[in-house]
Amino acid sequence: MKTTKSNPSKSAGGIARSAALSSEDKKSIAKKGALARWGAKATHKGNFKDDFGIDVDCYVLDDIKKTAVITQLGMGQTLGMGSGGSRLPRFVFNKTMSSYIWPELREKLENPIVFQLVSSGQIASGKANGYDVTVLIDVCKAVIKAESDGKIKKDSNVAKQAHVIVNASAKAGIEGLVYALAGYDRTKEEVIEAYKLYVREEAREYEREFVPELYEQWHRLYNLPKPVRGRPWEFRFLTIDHIYTPLAKSNGKVFKLAKNSKQENGDTNSKIHQFLSEIGVKALRTQVGKILGIATVSENREEYEKFINEKVFGQKSLGI
């Protein structure tokens, strides 16, 4: 029988590294190891029944984010699918709904959070599969989109519940609801950090990347009448040709990537700039500012296009 020889120098090195660690570092490493081996542990438990009439448990985990979760079974029940742990995945991945589940959401649904259920005595009483409660909001949005496209009946239980849930709570709101039901009190620091996170995530969706001053200048230079609603169709081509095509000197490649991302992950109401990376957004803002500056100093269309041709495209011919 083959025996494996230990490596004394390797063992000694490990002992030395361990001795150099502070007690806090050791605790952190141990916690990460336990988390990887057993999953996060539920420290607080609540239920929707008394306040909302739905017998669904919710939990707060002991991970660094203090994740608020609902079990896979509970999420299906919340959406009016009845009991049965497999009903939710069967529904979201069926032929109709699968095209409405964008890649990031699909990844979350295919990889539920495994966590330890804990009894009142803080003793592990089994494991459960769950989802960050904000996933519920995203699933509801997908259901509502499918309903608006006529793929799901408006009077179905799932569609009705999706509208109720979305209208009743934003992402931060539903997380706070689970905290309240489970009796978990967040510290001031945790609330501030969570708020910052939501602000960063949500601000991009509502941010106006195209300043109204730019549109005013285009109206002036191209002598375009202002419609009662919306903007002139010519603005679409000006935006693509003058803003997106030269963006980051990519000759339209950045625009094509963002457009493809929108088609895969967004809906008809989404804006192209919402699918740019953080670096892409910074480049977009710089480009918008540059074009606005050129437009502002131009007396007429001919002068504007001459400056665009020289300063943006480097003498390249431009047809609009």
What is the identity of the amino acid at 101? I
pLDDT digits (tens, 9 = 90+) for 288-308: 888 999 999 999 999 999 999
pLDDT digits (tens, 9 = 90+) for 13-71: 444 445 555 665 555 555 554 454 457 889 999 988 887 778 899 999 988 889 999 99
Residue 261 reports pLDDT greater than 80 = no
Tell me whether residue 111 is exposed, middle or buried, using C-beta atoms within 10 angstroms of its C-beta: 0 to 12, 13 to 18, 19 or more: exposed
Q: What is the 3-state secondary structure (H, E, C) of 2-54?
A: CCCCCCHHHHHHHHHHHHHCCHHHHHHHHHHHHHHHHCEEEEEEEECHHHHCC
Structural contact between residues 252 and 245, judged by C-beta atoms closer than 8 angstroms: yes
Nearest to 142 by CA among 113, 108, 193: 108
Specify the pLDDT at position 71: 92
Position with higher pLDDT, 94 vs 11: 94
Strands 113-118 and 124-132: antiparallel
User: What stretch of H or E contains 85?
Assistant: none
- Bridge partner residues of 118 (DSSP): 124
